[in-house]
Amino acid sequence: MKLQRVRIEQLRQFRQPLEVGELGPGLNLIHGPNESGKSTLVRAIRAAFFERHRSSSVDDLRPWGDSSAAPSVELDFECRGVQWQLRKRFLQQKRCDLQVAGDSYSGEEAEDKLADLLGFQFASRGASQDKHWGIPGLLWVEQGSGQNVHDAVAYAGDHLKSALNSLLGEVASSGGDDVIQKVQSQRAELLTATGKPRGDYARLGEEQKTLVTELAALDERVAHYQSMVDRLGELRQRYQRNEQERPWEAARQSQQEAENRFREIEQWQQEQKQEQQALDDCRQTLELLRRQQQQSQVAARKLTEREQTLAHCKETVNTLQTREEQVTVAQQQARKAYDKARQQVRVAKEQEQRNRLDNDIKQLRLQLETLGKNLEKARAHQAELQETRNQQQANPLDLEALEALRKTQRQLEQERVRSQAISTRLHYALESGQSLTLNGQSLQGEGDELLLEASTLALPGIGELTITPGGDDLARVQRQLERLQESYDNQLKSMKVDSPEQAGKLAEQQAQRKETIQRLEALLASIAPQGVDVLESQQQELTRRLEQLQSEQKVLSEIPGEPVSLTGAEAALELAEQQLSEADGNLQEHSKQLFAATQALENAQTEWQQLKGELDNPERQAAERSLQTQIAETGERATRLQQSVSNRQEQIDEARPQLLQQDMARFKASAEQLERSHQQEALELTSLESKLESQGAEGLEEQREELAARLEHVNRRFTELHRRAEALDLLLSLLQEKRQALTRRLQAPLQKHLNHYLGVLFPKANLDVDDNLMPGQLTRTGQQGQETGDVLELSFGAREQMGLISRLAYADLLQEAGRPTLIILDDTLVHSDRRRLDQMKRILFDAASRHQVLLFTCHPENWQDLGVAPRDLEALKTAN
């Protein structure tokens, strides 16, 4: 759809006609300041389409204060390849004329044709509102409402979907949504939104539970009732039987019998007790008698014992007496042996002493001899030593003075050599026979003279020559020589030697002597460390001792006999001593024993005699015989009684009195219990009968039947509702599933267009479209990576941008479906920043290549770079 020309007259501020012609097929930018009439122009276009020409609710179109005005709008546009012209006048001389490719329509027919073409409705009453506007409502954006795309989409929904249907073919269901709604409402009667039962369905479920509980209770009561009936039958039978048989009487009879029997046994027990007493007495007597008898028997036994003791004692004494001589002889022999052994020991000791003396004397003599030799040597060494020491002391030589002399000698020689070196040398070679005189000394032949002082050479025949050696040194050396010579001579003199060589020889001799002294001293020390005098006194001491020993030796008598070993003699003595002591002991012991045995014999004799006397008493023998008889009699009686008692006990045991007593108690208790329970059963019978009577009247089982029927009925109804609920649930989910699948297919093209524009603003972003083709979730790459949020949560500016993008996408969609598209934007995107606005301009320019866009603005400077010439409304006004 391309709008080509708009003309308005007597409409709001345009009392005079205003014509906007030559509108381009793409973007048209119309600008003017506030109140210049932009919105009026938009309102006029809307009125031309949306308002019935007969409507009386369009007073706002009338210029202020001009009640006679007839607002009119003329529109020329091209659509579906044909030319359309619409003329519409409101309030006065209302008219609507439409020319389409030569055909003319007027009035409501014309208006309906337009509504069908563009996709909107008319208001049934009053002014047209946004809910009627359909597609144009979506594409014609009023000032300040660009961000609110949701209402507009909702109002355009059916038109959009039908457009999509035509795009996709017959995929949508003509009445699907209606069916879904019905299924939903039917389901809602049975189930809540979360799928829980509600209403009758829920109530039936509850009732079902209640009935089941009640039924169970009733079942239990029926079972109880039946068990009571069974009990009654049983009880009644037993009661009647007991009434006839009266079992407690039989029990009483048994009790009586047991009692009688028990009395009888009690009698026995009495008798038994008496006889037992007699038996006990009898036994006691017997015991006493026996004890008496035992005592006399003990006396007799003792006598025998004493006889034996006596005999034994006699034998002992005899034995001891026969042994006496033997023991005495042994003791005497031992004594003799002992004395002999002692003698042997004394001899052995004397022999040993003599031997030792001989040895000592021999030893002493040897020592004396050695000592004599040493003393001799020591005396010789001492004499030599004394002599040498005397020599040494006679010719002492100072070794330091000798050293000083040698040093002086060396200096003197050195000085002499030096004087020769610096003296004047006089060489002479004289003709044979010729001579010269030097300092009075004649010189012949050839030779050298050293001149140390002024010398006079007398040349025979010629005269004298005085030669004086030059230089101070010669004079000093001369003086030094003289001084050293003097010292040298003095030293020799003091040492009393003629030359240093002599002195050296003397020193050597002195050293040799010193060595000799040292050697002799060492020898002397080794032979007589404590001196020669000590050696001498030792010699005297030893001599004295020798004399003493020799005198001792003389004293010792010479005892003849064989040499005896002391050790052997001592051992023999010890043995003899032992034997002697043993023999003494034996003798002593023997005497003791003998004494004791004799004593014992006497005692035994006395005791035996005494007891024998007693036993032989005739009175005593008579008493013993009587005792014997008594014992026999009493024993016999006890045996008799014992037999009788044990026989009776057996009888009593067999009768089991304890069991009888138990029987008595048992029968008694049984009788009582039987009678009591019989009475109780009578009571229970009555009570059961009355209970059953009253419960039977309730008709429990019939009640139960009725309740079961009710339950079954409820179950059936519940099952029906349950099945219905499930069926509705299934149906609804299937319908929604299919519808969603369809919607997704429908959404695909819209999604494509949306993402086409969205990519310019946010690369790779995605805007979801919901079932109703509304933009929903926006997913884009933000600062923190992927972020997703509802479009409604964006800022106002961003929502406005999204709104515009969505509208352009819808326009693309509609165009694809062959629907007319015209986009009118009244002062849009005023909240966008510069950068976003630039992007939006790219989007808008792109859209304008497919759709006609009318853009009204009061900020033409914002839209300069859209590549179209802006049209100034003010200029248009003046142009008309």
Partner 1 sequence: MPRFLHTADWQMGRYYSRFDNDDAVALAEARFTAIERLAQLARDERCDAVLVAGDVFDAQTVADRTIRRVFNAMSGFSGPWVMLPGNHDAALAESVWTRARRLNAVPDNVHLALEPGVVELKAQGLAVLAAPLTQRHTHSDLTEHFDHLDTPPELLRVGLAHGSVQGLLAEDIDSANPIAADRAAQANLDYLALGDWHGVKQINARTWYSGTPEPERFRNNEAGVALVVDITGPGAEPDVRRHRIGQFEWVQWREHLNVATDLDELLQRLEELPAPAVVDIRLSGEVDLAGEQKLLHALSVAEARHRSVQCDRSQLSLQPTDEDIAELNADGYLGEVIGELREQQESADDEKAATSRDALAILTSLLRDRIEPASESAGEGQS
**Binding interface with partner 1 (CB under 8 A):** 170-176, 178-179, 182-183, 186, 222, 225-226, 228-230, 232-236, 688-689, 692-693, 695-703, 705-706, 708-709, 711-713, 720, 723-724, 726-728, 730-731, 734-735, 738-739, 741-742
**In angstroms, what is the minimal distance from the CB of 168 to partner 1?**
10
**In angstroms, what is the minimal distance from the CB of 742 to partner 1?**
5
Return the structure tokens found at 334. Answer: 């031992």
What is each CA distance from 825 to 429, 606, 844, 863, in whole angstroms? 165, 173, 11, 13
**In angstroms, what is the minimal distance from the CB of 182 to partner 1?**
5
Integer distance in angstroms from the first to the last C-alpha of the chain?
Answer: 26
**In angstroms, what is the minimal distance from the CB of 198 to partner 1?**
18
**In angstroms, what is the minimal distance from the CB of 665 to partner 1?**
36
Q: Are 521 and 382 in contact (CB under 8 A)?
A: no
What is each CA distance from 386 to 158, 397, 517, 519, 524, in whole angstroms? 170, 19, 9, 13, 12
Nearer to partner 1, 171 or 421 (CB): 171
Nearer to partner 1, 230 or 636 (CB): 230
Buried b (16+ CB within 10 A) or exposed e, 574-590: eebeebbeebeebbeeb
**In angstroms, what is the minimal distance from the CB of 714 to partner 1?**
11
Return the structure tokens found at 736. Answer: 């929604």
Nearer to partner 1, 163 or 728 (CB): 728
Nearer to partner 1, 234 or 547 (CB): 234
- Which residue do the tokens 């409501």 mark? 108
**In angstroms, what is the minimal distance from the CB of 31 to partner 1?**
47
Nearer to partner 1, 6 or 746 (CB): 746
Nearer to partner 1, 228 or 546 (CB): 228
Q: What is the DSSP string of 628-655?
A: HHHHHHHHHHHHHHHHHHHHHHHHHHHH
Q: Dump strand ranges (E) for 665-821.
A: 766-769, 775-782, 785-790
Residues 599, 114: Cα–Cα separation, whole Å:
179
Question: How many Å separate Cα 747 from the centre of its chain?
Answer: 61
- Which residue do the tokens 């023991």 mark? 327
Contacts made by residues 168-175, CB under 8 angstroms, sequence distance 24+: 168/745, 168/746, 171/742, 171/745, 171/746, 172/742, 172/746, 173/739, 173/742
**In angstroms, what is the minimal distance from the CB of 684 to partner 1?**
12
**In angstroms, what is the minimal distance from the CB of 727 to partner 1?**
3
Residues 510, 543: Cα–Cα separation, whole Å:
44
Cα–Cα nearest to 826, from 802, 850, 804, 797: 804
Count other C-beta atoms under 10 Å from residue 802's C-beta. 23
Residues 503, 496: Cα–Cα separation, whole Å:
9
Nearer to partner 1, 239 or 762 (CB): 239
Nearer to partner 1, 215 or 506 (CB): 215
Instruction: Report helix, strand or coil for 692.
Output: helix
Nearer to partner 1, 735 or 830 (CB): 735
**In angstroms, what is the minimal distance from the CB of 716 to partner 1?**
8
**In angstroms, what is the minimal distance from the CB of 695 to partner 1?**
7
Nearer to partner 1, 448 or 693 (CB): 693
**In angstroms, what is the minimal distance from the CB of 244 to partner 1?**
18
Nearer to partner 1, 375 or 731 (CB): 731
Cα–Cα nearest to 815, from 242, 65, 163, 136: 163
Q: What is the DSSP string of 492-512?
A: HHHTT-SSHHHHHHHHHHHHH
What is each CA distance from 158 to 51, 133, 139, 688, in whole angstroms? 20, 12, 15, 80
Nearer to partner 1, 351 or 703 (CB): 703
Residues 406, 501: Cα–Cα separation, whole Å:
9
Query: DSSP label at 793?
Result: G
Nearer to partner 1, 719 or 880 (CB): 719
**In angstroms, what is the minimal distance from the CB of 242 to partner 1?**
16
Q: Are 13 and 32 in contact (CB under 8 A)?
A: no
**In angstroms, what is the minimal distance from the CB of 655 to partner 1?**
47
Nearer to partner 1, 271 or 706 (CB): 706
**In angstroms, what is the minimal distance from the CB of 801 to partner 1?**
35
Q: Are 20 and 4 in contact (CB under 8 A)?
A: no
CA angle 736, 738, 743 (to 5 degrees): 90
Nearer to partner 1, 229 or 792 (CB): 229
Q: Of all residues in the chain, what percent are helix, strand and coil, respectively (each to 5)?
A: 70, 10, 20
Phi then psi for 425, rounded to 5 degrees? Answer: -95, 130
Q: Dump strand ranges (E) for 340-488.
A: 424-429, 435-438, 441-444, 446-451, 455-459, 463-467
Buried b (16+ CB within 10 A) or exposed e, 405-414: beebbebbee
Nearer to partner 1, 178 or 787 (CB): 178
Residues 222, 701: Cα–Cα separation, whole Å:
7
Give Cβ neighbours of residue 188 (< 8 Å, ≥ 6 apart): 198
**In angstroms, what is the minimal distance from the CB of 208 to partner 1?**
14
Residues 358, 413: Cα–Cα separation, whole Å:
82
Nearer to partner 1, 178 or 245 (CB): 178
Residues 568, 349: Cα–Cα separation, whole Å:
12
Nearer to partner 1, 171 or 534 (CB): 171
Torsion on CA atoms 632, 634, 635, 637, rounded to nearest 10? 120
**In angstroms, what is the minimal distance from the CB of 161 to partner 1?**
11
**In angstroms, what is the minimal distance from the CB of 738 to partner 1?**
4
